Amino acid sequence: MDELIADLQKLIRQPSVSAKNEGIEECASLVKKMLQKIGIKSELLRLKKGVAPIVFGEIKSKQNPCKTLLFYNHYDVQPAEPFDLWDDPPFSGKRKGNKIFGRGATDDKGELITRIKAVEASLKTTGDVPCNIKFLIEGEEETGSAHIEQYLKKFKKKFSCDGVIWEFGYVDAKNRPIVGLGMKGLLFVELSVKESIRDAHSSLAVVVKNPAWRLIQAVNTLRNDDGKILIKDWYKEVTPLSKKDLQLIKNEPFDEKSFQKEFGITSFVGNKKGIEAKKALVAGATCNIAGFVSGYTGEGAKTVLPGEALVKIDFRLVPKMDPQKQVMRLKKHLKSKGFSDIKIKVFHGEAAARTNSSEPFVQNVKEAADKSYGKSILNVSNAGTGPMFPFVEILKAPCISIGSTYMFSRIHSPNEFARVDLLKKTTKCICLIMENFGKS
């Protein structure tokens, strides 16, 4: 465990913010060297200049060379802003008792290290791995995995496998691991309005138009107070949850009170409660303002009339929602509401995906999780997004998410941390998954 923690700190201390192209190459090299150090053949795969490389690692099994397990992870992290809300510098990797703090501590450097250390443990104790192991570690996950599909197509043979362990898995407030079978999709856009070519003195607001007003009006047409998206045909292709899915959702525990306490809130969007909140997490679409900026946002007062206003919006998509189709619907919506002057920039879109719960691999992972952490929970789909869709489509392999991500470990937020106890349990779980997989 000491080595695991030291290596995790090493990874955290190498910033790798894909949104800013900060430290990407450096972090890829660091990860490659870590794999090589424990005896895994590894290389950097590339598509073209300007695209973050994939770290690919491979080790064959002597005892069972016919089955291949692939670990999908990412070495990039979210931006650390707002910096002033961190208790320690975001890239310091400081340990305080059972917690290791830092951007990427859990998402996804913490998860990655458990996969690496599980393979290392197997090699050190048995001189072999129970099945062939492949590592696919990308560097653009936090900006939407823009090139994962191209990579999967180009290196399809290299990545071929019989099962994928997803880059993360949640552990809930009661320390129960979630065995996740699906991910939502994501459409991230930026809407902007320019009214004049420069900022003006705000006394001119009697005559010069303010783009913030216009953007506010436009954005206000996108959804209602209950979170329902008001764009025409937004939900058109969505199919209702099956009875089996609904049963799995019902079986899932959800501690509303703990969840609300973590965020200091007393109610949910649309006043959802119980099964409704759980259904929303598994199968609800969203329209979320991830950022809004116009004019002077510093301390104090500044009487300015801004020339430009900008909003960043992320839509979570559920199965059957096609990102490209949804962009067209958004454009049509703004036009029909009289906002054709608003510019739309699409950052990325990816579709949702789910793995069928009857796959044998599901039982394998569930058993390993039950043994390592105690009782695990089957989850139809995570509330978050990952590029599972192209994996399912191109590699034709079942994808399952399991890992060390404590539900309240503040991923994507200030003071993100990893829990040492969960890193240990996850490493053990990955060892068992490999063993089960080799025997199956």
In the window 245-274, what residues touch a copy of itself (CB under 8 A)?
Answer: 259, 263-265, 267-269, 272
Task: Give me the amino acid identity at 269.
Answer: V
Helix (H) or strand (E) holding 200, with range, is strand 200-201
Residue 175 or 217 having the CB closest to a copy of itself? 217
Residue 158 or 348 having the CB closest to a copy of itself? 348
Torsion of Cα atoms, 126 then 128 then 134 then 136, to 10°: 40
Residues 83-142 that bind a copy of itself (CB under 8 A): 85, 142
Count interface residues toward a copy of itself (CB under 8 A).
88
Residue 196 or 440 having the CB closest to a copy of itself? 196
Stretch that binds a copy of itself, among 47-55, 78-86, 233-241, 352-360 (CB under 8 A): 78-86
Q: How far is CA 330 from the centre of its chain?
A: 23
Torsion of Cα atoms, 181 then 42 then 145 then 357, to 10°: -10
Establish if 382 lies at the interface with a copy of itself (CB under 8 A).
yes
Task: Judge contact between 357 and 252, C-beta under 8 A.
Answer: no
Establish if 158 lies at the interface with a copy of itself (CB under 8 A).
no
Task: Give me the amino acid identity at 423.
Answer: L
Both tokens of 331, joined, read 């454009």
CA distance 309 to 324: 25
Pick the binder of a copy of itself from 23, 139, 169, 384 (CB under 8 A).
384
Least distance to a copy of itself from the beta carbon of 229, Å? Answer: 11
Residues 340-369 that bind a copy of itself (CB under 8 A): 347-348
Establish if 328 lies at the interface with a copy of itself (CB under 8 A).
no
Pick the binder of a copy of itself from 1, 230, 275, 290 (CB under 8 A).
290
| φ/ψ (deg, to 5) at 259 | -60, -50
Residue 32 or 109 having the CB closest to a copy of itself? 109
Task: Judge contact between 56 and 73, C-beta under 8 A.
Answer: no
> How far is residue 209 from each of residues 279, 295, 358, measured CA to CA in Å?
43, 13, 58
Residue 66 or 206 having the CB closest to a copy of itself? 206
Residue 16 or 68 having the CB closest to a copy of itself? 16
**Which position has the token pair 């969505």?**
238
Least distance to a copy of itself from the beta carbon of 69, Å? Answer: 26
Residues 392-421 that bind a copy of itself (CB under 8 A): 410-414
Task: Judge contact between 187 and 312, C-beta under 8 A.
Answer: no
Residues 168-227 that bind a copy of itself (CB under 8 A): 184, 186, 188, 195-210, 212-213, 216-217, 219-220, 223, 225, 227
Least distance to a copy of itself from the beta carbon of 432, Å? Answer: 28
Least distance to a copy of itself from the beta carbon of 6, Å? Answer: 27
Task: List all residues 6 or more positions away from 276 whose beta carbon is below 8 Å from its beta carbon.
Answer: none
What pairing do the DSSP bridges indicate for beta strands 41-45 and 417-419?
Answer: unpaired
Residue 163 or 384 having the CB closest to a copy of itself? 384
Burial group, residue 141, by CB count within 10 angstroms (0-12, 13-18, 19+):
buried
Pick the binder of a copy of itself from 99, 383, 435, 440 (CB under 8 A).
383
Both tokens of 240, joined, read 């209702």
